[in-house]
């Protein structure tokens, strides 16, 4: 038996603002950052977790992580692993820390980093990747591992167990299939708002050549510029000559693409406003972009505005444009209401804005019940490494489908992780297979030494600390 004996945090910041990576209508200067935590035991077992920010404020999250992680000191890990739902409740149950949420904001994303670190430790203790640990659980074990408070009006524990049991007999078949073909991905890297037209066209051509057929573009700063940029992307993705050698156009009317506004090659364009509009403004602005045929508008308005999203979805439905949101939905209750209000066509969980795997499981179960596909957000450092595990759990054990799902892929910063995610020649995520990678989020010590703020070698040598003053 092992006991949790300590923890350590690191404020790690990467200077992505220097190249314009991550820019959108709301967030014009982003330094992708990791509030990183390691949980130590009296054995060799260590669990790693993180949550994502875009720069200043990362130090506040690190401070909150320390307060949350303290709750796990001297806890026996096998007792925690035996009931991960109960462990999640304990992590979030400090009344004074809860008061400054509750279950939202800095304290919640800090709790997500700690819960993810505990799950990473659990998977490593069982010598399985995180996704495999969860899909090998019984339905009862998965439900017991889930954060269930406040969602029983949307799905009961009994309903969840029944749903999981209905998929249990065919889990092995789905696992074999996804290991063979990979999990569907879409690319955001070509569509950042700070990129030139030439860079957008080049990166889009490269993405098509790499096998991708779903592409996302940032919008919301300038309607005419958005139309121009959208037409550039469409001119590339709708042209068969840009497809990889030997790849035939996909059928736009196939079950995987029907209703997604796919072009003649079967390629799909999505647009993302990052919360920049009021509700009436969102409706009119997106209508004006109908010409570039987006599948959905992501985050058209404030992330907590459930009824606003419902109104936008209703108004855009006749125009064949859906609504997606979730990367800033701060807990399972917001997702519950979005689903109950028929406010979204696509559910976009974030691996560490939600408070870790246990809360993510709650949203996966609800989305499956409501029949809404889950397409996780991964536009940030470490998020791609995280979310492939979550999508595999959803496909193999929960929803049983990946036909219409696509998982965001951003080609940034993977080299800083011991077990980076990877994409195959068909533009799909490869399945993590290493027995020692856990939740795939362990960072190289050299990367921490270089990019820890403010004393990492990069920040000291380049004298860029003043940008955070």
- 18-66: per-residue pLDDT in tens? 876 665 656 667 899 999 999 999 999 999 999 999 999 999 999 999 9
Is residue 148 in some structural domain?
A: no
Instruction: Quote the DSSP letter at residue 22.
Output: T
CA distance 310 to 383: 27
Full-model pTM: 0.96
CA distance 83 to 34: 28
- 56-79: per-residue pLDDT in tens? 999 999 999 999 999 999 999 999
CATH number of the structural domain spanning residue 60: 3.30.390.10
Examine the residue annotation and report whether 377 is marked as an active-site residue of this protein.
yes
Same domain, 98 and 15: yes
Catalytic residue, candidates 108, 124, 218, 293: 218
Query: Within 145-238, where are the H helices?
Result: 157-168, 171-181, 197-209, 223-237
Contact 159, 370 (CB under 8 A): no
Q: What is the 3-state secondary structure (H, E, C) of 328-366?
A: CCCCHHHHHHHHHCCCCCEECCECCCCCCHHHHHHHHHH
Is residue 135 in some structural domain?
A: no
- 419-436: per-residue pLDDT in tens? 999 999 999 999 999 999
The pLDDT mean for the chain works out to 95
Is residue 416 in some structural domain?
A: yes
CA distance 163 to 227: 43
- N-terminal to C-terminal alpha carbon distance within the chain: 46
* CA–CA distances in Å: residue 348 to residues 22, 111, 138, 194, 318: 17, 19, 26, 23, 23
Q: Which residue is listed with tokens 């559910």?
A: 347
- pLDDT greater than 80 at residue 465: no
Same domain, 359 and 217: yes
Catalytic residue, candidates 377, 389, 412, 419: 377
Same domain, 307 and 397: yes
- pLDDT greater than 90 at residue 212: yes
According to the model, what pLDDT value does residue 198 have? 95
Same domain, 176 and 227: yes
The tally of domains found in the chain comes to 2
Same domain, 317 and 350: yes
Burial of residue 107 (CB within 10 Å: 0-12, 13-18, 19+) is buried
- pLDDT greater than 70 at residue 384: yes
According to the model, what pLDDT value does residue 223 have? 96
What is the percent of the chain where pLDDT is above 70?
97
Same domain, 182 and 329: yes
CATH number of the structural domain spanning residue 300: 3.20.20.120
Q: Which domain holds residue 336?
A: 171-429
Residue-by-residue DSSP string for 389-400: HHHHHIIIIIS-
279 pLDDT tier (thresholds 50, 70, 90): very high
Report the pLDDT averaged over residues 404-431: 96
Is residue 22 in some structural domain?
A: yes
Same domain, 67 and 122: yes
């Amino acid at each position: 038996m092992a006991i949790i004996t300590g923890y350590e945090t690191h404020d790690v910041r990467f200077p992505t603002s220097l190249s314009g990576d991550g820019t959108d209508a709301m967030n014009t200067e982003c330094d992708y950052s990791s509030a990183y935590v390691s949980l130590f035991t009296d054995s060799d077992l260590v669990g790693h977790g993180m949550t994502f920010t875009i720069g200043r404020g990362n130090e506040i999250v690190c401070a909150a992580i320390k307060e949350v992680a303290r709750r796990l000191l001297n806890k026996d890990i096998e007792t925690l692993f035996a009931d991960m739902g109960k462990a999640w409740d304990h992590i979030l149950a400090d009344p004074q820390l809860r008061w400054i949420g509750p279950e939202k904001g800095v304290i919640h994303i800090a709790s997500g980093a700690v819960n993810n670190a505990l799950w990473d430790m659990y998977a490593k203790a069982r010598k399985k990747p995180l996704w495999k640990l969860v899909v090998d659980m019984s339905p009862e074990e998965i439900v017991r591992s889930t954060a269930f408070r406040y969602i029983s009006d949307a799905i009961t524990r009994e309903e969840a167990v029944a749903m999981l049991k209905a998929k249990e007999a065919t889990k092995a078949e789905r696992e074999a299939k996804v290991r063979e073909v990979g999990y569907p991905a879409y690319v955001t890297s070509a569509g950042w708002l700070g990129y030139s037209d030439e860079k957008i066209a080049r990166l889009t051509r490269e993405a098509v050549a790499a096998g991708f057929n779903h592409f996302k573009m940032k919008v919301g700063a300038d309607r005419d510029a958005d139309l121009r940029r959208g037409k550039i992307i469409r001119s590339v993705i709708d042209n068969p000559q840009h497809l990889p050698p030997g790849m035939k156009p996909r059928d736009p009317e196939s079950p995987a693409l029907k209703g997604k506004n796919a072009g003649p090659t079967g390629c799909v364009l999505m647009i993302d406003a990052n919360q920049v509009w009021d509700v009436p403004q969102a409706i009119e602005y997106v209508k004006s972009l109908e010409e570039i045929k987006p599948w959905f508008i992501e985050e058209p308005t404030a992330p907590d505005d459930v009824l606003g999203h419902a109104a936008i979805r209703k108004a855009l439905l006749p125009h064949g444009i859906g609504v997606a949101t979730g990367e800033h939905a701060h807990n399972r209750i917001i997702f519950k209401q979005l689903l109950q209000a028929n406010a979204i066509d696509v559910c976009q969980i974030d691996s560490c804005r939600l408070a870790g795997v246990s809360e993510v499981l709650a949203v996966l179960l609800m989305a499956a019940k409501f029949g809404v596909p889950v397409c996780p957000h991964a536009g940030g450092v470490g998020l791609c490494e995280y979310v492939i595990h979550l999508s595999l759990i959803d496909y193999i054990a929960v929803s049983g489908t990946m036909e219409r799902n696509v998982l965001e892929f951003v080609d940034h910063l993977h080299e800083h992780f011991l077990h980076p995610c990877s994409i195959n020649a068909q533009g799909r995520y490869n399945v993590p297979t290493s027995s020692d990678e856990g939740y795939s989020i362990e960072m190289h010590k050299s990367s921490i030494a270089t990019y820890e703020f403010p004393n990492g070698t990069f920040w000291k040598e380049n004298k860029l600390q003043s940008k955070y003053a």
